[in-house]
Structure 1
Amino acid sequence: MGNKVIVSNRLDGAVLAILPKFIGDAINTLPALALLKQLYPTQRICVLVRPHLTEIFSRASEYGLEVISDDRHCRSKHRGLYGMASQLKHQNFALAVLFRGSLTDAVLARLAGIKNVIGYAQNARRPFLSHAFKLNQCHHYIYRYCKLVNDAHGRPFTHFDTPKLTAQPSTLALSKAQCNIALYLGGKVKGTRYYPQHLAVQVVQHISTIKNINIFLLGDQSEQSDMTSLTSLAQSKGITLHNLAGSMSLAELVDNIGAMDAVISIDSGPMHIAAACGVPCVAIVGHGTSPWSLVAPKTENLIALTHKSTSLNEVDLIQDVSPEKVFQALSTLLCQPPH
């Protein structure tokens, strides 16, 4: 698009990356951030993230990132656009990479006095970008993020590494003699991605047949009631579940997922965390917020179960993935035959 190539060793100042607001999307920027670190090994690489995401990056220390909380989205110490721009302006940023398609983020970078601003030319923000690129909607999210960095710098890279998170020891009382499985099936707040309770309990029943099994339920505070209900339903069938929903910070979620033998998850943050921690994962894919091909984790030990439904009701789609298929996939990952 006629952009002048950025020569990294001629840039004097820190680098700012403005990250997406969702867990999975933020994790998927890690390969692009690794490319930035290679380009600017001696300079500060800062990530501007929503306050609730800061803990994720405490488990990404190998990337050498400095985390800045985006206080435009903090209730306790809210900053407006100009206040946030003023805070950033004092940090001598020479380059900003916009990993979100937000017009406001482009304006923020300019108000912060950042001369070089890289981003996709969408949402009327081209005038605020020094290096504007055309977005190919068919590209995987990781590829989109890496391509922004690579193209702006003259394409010095030919490959990228997959996202990596390093879990700390879990505080859960886990035994190596047991098989520990975490389930994140979402709550009703997940809409069309939610795996309904009548199917979820069947998954639990299948898994409970595994010898020396421990089953943990994951979820946030908005999903506590759904997970409590599922726990009670399982107990009525003589199955014990460890309900962790709403009791963990994001850092603890990473640590607990990292301690599991396998995870079963809908298309959401815990699935991306499992992939980044190298934990085997069964993904139950219904109608998501993005096409599956654009967000699928790039890992070998993940089995994605996509629907084949012909229903015109989007809520029905995920129900095409049967509990039997979920258990068969889990058995494959655990290298043991299904019952």
Structure 2
Amino acid sequence: MRILVVLPNWLGDAVMATPAIELLAKYYENAHFTFIGSYVSIEALKHHPLCESAIVDETKKASSRLAATYKLAKQLGRFDLAITFRNQIHSSTLLRFTDTVLTVARKSWHSQLLLSHIPKIKTDQHLVQQYVELAMVNVDNFDGDIPPLKLYIQQNRFENPTLGINAGATYGSAKRWYPERFAQVAAYYKDKYDILIFGGPNEVEMAKEIEENLISLGVTNYKNIAGKTTIEELCANIAGCSLFITNDSGPMHVAAAYQVPTVAIFGPTKYKETCQWKNEKSTIVRHEMDCSPCMKRECPLKHHDCMKSITASEVIEAVKSLEL
């Protein structure tokens, strides 16, 4: 059975779609996937053993996105099932242009016009559950059991126990705890773990600040790989960590996919909807604020108290609660 899946754009959202993809593979006999998505989502999910084709969606770069979407759809051909995890007119249009009969998307004005199955999904539940509802909309015998997150990139194996530090969060500065405090936590555990500093291409300066703070605290057993890894290498390195301390971010969900013990620091986002899914050793550090969750990229009140009030000692205690 040929199944077209339009993946979410963000790394974390794409990883949170993996339980839905695993359920599609389980409930549709002889399933084979074609994935369409952003560069990062494709790089993370293209290793699925049932993936026949993985295509980076570059239609937005075309002079006419509609024409480019039509051309891509005709190149892809018809599928037995086509589903999009994006709530975008372009993805609804892509599914329609493939001439696939069974098409699935979240209910919206454009999906109502273009597609065959458009469930209204409640947003006050974990994003994993939202994606699963979409995927299982046409499955009568779904037993309700949702698996953990799943990636098929082989983990890196480090010589010594390794603490991963991820101070970045692509969505915006409001989600980011402070580099000097990440360094304080890492320094506390320097005798138990080697320290690996993560970060994307736009987070190199932040990672450098952590590095400088570690040096000032007398830490030498660290390595800074921010901006130096591919998506595949990022996932493999996170998978090899013995402990991961992170903001609410894509790498946080990668860690959950590999069951890496994790302390996640949350500020302005809806933690019940985007916390780690089914990670057996995971805990959240957050402070309830009158203004949260604001879901803003930057603190609209200019005080950032949801993150500023979280201390290094709180995060250290959260690590201890994991009983590693």
Relative to the length of structure 2, the TM-score reads: 0.87
Q: 1:188 to 1:103 in 2, by over 3 A?
A: closer
Give the corresponding residue for 2:21.
Answer: 33
Is it true that 1:85 corresponds to 2:70 in the alignment? yes
Q: 1:243 to 1:123 in 2, by over 3 A?
A: farther
Kindly indicate whether the alpha-carbon contact (under 8 Å) linking 1:191 and 1:315 is maintained by their aligned counterparts in 2: no
What does 1:243-254 align with in structure 2 at a 5 Å threshold? 243-254=224-235
TM-superposition CA deviations, 1:9-60 (whole Å, max 9, x none): xxxx621111110011101111111121123232422221212322212454
TM-superposition CA deviations, 1:139-159 (whole Å, max 9, x none): 211111111122223353321
Decide which of 198, 208, 212 is 1:232's aligned counterpart: 212
2:225 corresponds to which letter in structure 1?
A: L
TM-superposition CA deviations, 1:226-257 (whole Å, max 9, x none): 11122122212211231110000111011111
Is it true that 1:66 corresponds to 2:52 in the alignment? yes
SS in 1 for 2:196: strand
Q: 1:59 to 1:70 in 2, by over 3 A?
A: closer
What does 1:317-328 align with in structure 2 at a 5 Å threshold? 317-328=306-317
2:71 corresponds to which letter in structure 1?
A: S
How far apart in 2 are the matches of 1:182 and 1:165? Answer: 18
The structure with the largest alpha-carbon Rg is 1
- Percent pairwise identity: 23
What does 1:189-200 align with in structure 2 at a 5 Å threshold? 190-200=172-182
Q: 1:187 to 1:108 in 2, by over 3 A?
A: closer
How far apart in 1 are the matches of 2:193 and 2:186? Answer: 11
Displacement of 1:85:
3.2
Q: 1:180 to 1:20 in 2, by over 3 A?
A: same
Kindly indicate whether the alpha-carbon contact (under 8 Å) linking 1:189 and 1:223 is maintained by their aligned counterparts in 2: no
Kindly indicate whether the alpha-carbon contact (under 8 Å) linking 2:181 and 2:312 is maintained by their aligned counterparts in 1: yes
Is it true that 1:330 corresponds to 2:319 in the alignment? yes
TM-superposition CA deviations, 1:111-145 (whole Å, max 9, x none): 22222211111254311121111121212111111
How far apart in 1 are the matches of 2:63 and 2:148? Answer: 34
Kindly indicate whether the alpha-carbon contact (under 8 Å) linking 1:50 and 1:73 is maintained by their aligned counterparts in 2: no
Give the corresponding residue for 1:20.
Answer: 8
How far apart in 2 are the matches of 1:242 and 1:29? Answer: 31
TM-superposition CA deviations, 1:193-234 (whole Å, max 9, x none): 1112332232233223xx242111100110001111221222
Uncovered stretches (5+) of structure 2, i.e. residues with no partner: 292-300
Give the corresponding residue for 2:195.
Answer: 215
Uncovered stretches (5+) of structure 1, i.e. residues with no partner: 1-12
1:302 corresponds to which letter in structure 2?
A: S
Kindly indicate whether the alpha-carbon contact (under 8 Å) linking 2:70 and 2:94 is maintained by their aligned counterparts in 1: yes
How far apart in 2 are the matches of 1:206 and 1:264? Answer: 13
Is it true that 1:140 corresponds to 2:129 in the alignment? no
What does 1:1-339 align with in structure 2 at a 5 Å threshold? 14-61=2-49, 64-72=50-58, 80-90=65-75, 91-170=77-156, 174-175=158-159, 178-186=160-168, 190-208=172-190, 211-240=191-220, 241-288=222-269, 291-298=270-277, 299-310=279-290, 313=302, 315-333=304-322, 335=324
Output the aligned Cα RMSD: 2.4
How far apart in 1 are the matches of 2:147 and 2:55? Answer: 26
Q: 1:249 to 1:78 in 2, by over 3 A?
A: farther
Relative to the length of structure 1, the TM-score reads: 0.84
How far apart in 2 are the matches of 1:144 and 1:167? Answer: 25
How far apart in 2 are the matches of 1:71 and 1:119? Answer: 17
Q: 1:188 to 1:274 in 2, by over 3 A?
A: closer
Kindly indicate whether the alpha-carbon contact (under 8 Å) linking 1:264 and 1:283 is maintained by their aligned counterparts in 2: yes
